[in-house]
């Protein structure tokens, strides 16, 4: 059984981006720039943006973080995005989601120039991904593809079952893995809350991708022996034995599932760190560089 070490693999990628950025800077005389917009005080969002900003610094990128109150109007937020759209030092724009209810998330996503859409959420980029044209891939699914590749797990011809259909993870990972190309070419099923019996689908998985958002949603009984398990969940649960009374777990019942899996990603230290690494890859690309 292999524990897929996302921390190690993400660090390798970040080192590669750092080296590529040094070369890029010598050649072009500038560095990739990434702008973050953080709306409100959501603790998880604050923590993610902080980690992403730190990653930019370590990679040698220029970055700006704009923190604005949750009461900001939609119009003011759109104006802020537009200023970054025309700022030559900024190659990527990331508005951390979720946004307060009075702001139309889709409108915000579409306000970002597709050329600076390092999240890969703009419909123009989603469309390109869908038809197999190279573009910015959303960071979490892109990270999953890299995890599989760098663990030498080839999805080609395998049955990948994705549980979850969000725009950020479920739909894009299904789309990326179904493409007719290397390190994809899988037969893909998307299972979700609309299914009468989720385990009917999960039991058929050669590779199971859990993006449900619920602790212990995927148990050993729902899987077949030898399955590769990619756990995208980040859930905080009470744990009286933990230092601050809680700890992070994924969507998969890790302790039991690892008894039958051939490979599994832990939480934390699996998919999570990959998201940031792939954001660095996308930002380098946005500036015109490559690995």
Q: Which residues bind ligand GUN (CB under 6 A)?
A: 94-97, 119, 139-140, 168, 275
Kindly write down the DSSP assignment for every residue of 104-124, as one continuous string: -HHHHHHHS-GGG-TT--SHH
CA triple 43-49-52, angle to 5 deg: 140
What is the DSSP pairing of strand 235-238 with strand 187-191?
unpaired
Query: C-beta of 98: minimal distance to ligand GUN in Å?
Result: 7
Q: Which is nearer to ligand GUN, 119 or 253 (CB)?
A: 119
Joined tokens for residue 52: 């992403």
Query: C-beta of 206: minimal distance to ligand GUN in Å?
Result: 26
**HSE-up of residue 34 (Cα within 13 Å, Cβ side):** 28
Using CB positions, name the residue nearest to ligand GUN.
97
Q: Which is nearer to ligand GUN, 228 or 271 (CB)?
A: 271
Which residues are marked as active site?
52, 96, 119
Q: Which is nearer to ligand GUN, 94 or 163 (CB)?
A: 94
Query: C-beta of 46: minimal distance to ligand GUN in Å?
Result: 12
Q: Is the dihedral of CA 10, 62, 140, 250 positive or negative?
A: positive
Query: C-beta of 278: minimal distance to ligand GUN in Å?
Result: 9
d(CA 120, CA 128): 10
Separation in Å, CA 156 to CA 26, 139, 160, 170: 39, 21, 10, 18
Q: Which is nearer to ligand GUN, 52 or 150 (CB)?
A: 52
Q: In what order do the strands lie in the sheet with 207-210?
A: 2-3, 263-264, 228-231, 207-210, 159-163, 187-191
Among 239, 195, 198, 245, smallest CA distance to 217 is for 198
Q: Which is nearer to ligand GUN, 94 or 280 (CB)?
A: 94
Phi-psi region of 154 (alpha: psi -120 to 50; beta: other; left: phi over 0): beta
Kindly write down the DSSP assignment for every residue of 28-42, as one continuous string: HSS--EEEEEEES--
């Amino acid at each position: 059984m292999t524990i897929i070490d996302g921390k190690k693999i993400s660090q390798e990628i970040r080192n590669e981006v750092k080296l590529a950025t040094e070369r890029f800077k010598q050649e072009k005389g500038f560095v990739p720039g990434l702008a973050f917009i953080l709306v409100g005080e959501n603790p998880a969002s604050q923590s993610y943006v902080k980690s992403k900003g730190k990653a930019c610094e370590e990679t040698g990128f220029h970055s700006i973080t704009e923190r604005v109150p949750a009461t900001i109007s939609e119009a003011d937020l759109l104006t802020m995005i537009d200023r970054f759209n025309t700022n030559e030092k900024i190659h990527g724009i990331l508005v951390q989601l979720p946004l307060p209810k009075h702001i139309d998330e889709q409108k915000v996503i579409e306000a970002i120039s597709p050329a600076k859409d390092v999240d890969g959420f703009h419909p123009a980029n989603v469309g390109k991904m869908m038809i197999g044209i190279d573009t910015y891939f959303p960071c979490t699914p892109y990270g999953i593809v890299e995890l599989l590749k760098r663990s030498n797990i080839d999805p080609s011809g395998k049955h990948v079952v994705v549980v979850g259909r969000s725009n950020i993870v479920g739909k894009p990972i299904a789309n990326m893995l179904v493409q007719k190309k290397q390190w994809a070419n899988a037969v893909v099923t998307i299972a979700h809350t609309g299914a009468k019996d989720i385990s009917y689908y999960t039991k058929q998985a050669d590779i199971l991708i859990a993006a449900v958002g619920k602790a212990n949603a995927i148990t050993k009984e729902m899987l077949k022996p030898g399955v590769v398990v990619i756990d995208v969940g980040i859930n905080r649960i009470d744990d009286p034995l933990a230092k601050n009374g809680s700890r992070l777990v994924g969507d998969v019942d890790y302790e039991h599932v690892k008894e039958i899996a051939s490979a599994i990603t832990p939480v934390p230290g699996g998919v999570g760190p990959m998201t940031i690494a792939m954001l660095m890859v996308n930002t380098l690309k946005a500036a015109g560089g490559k690995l």
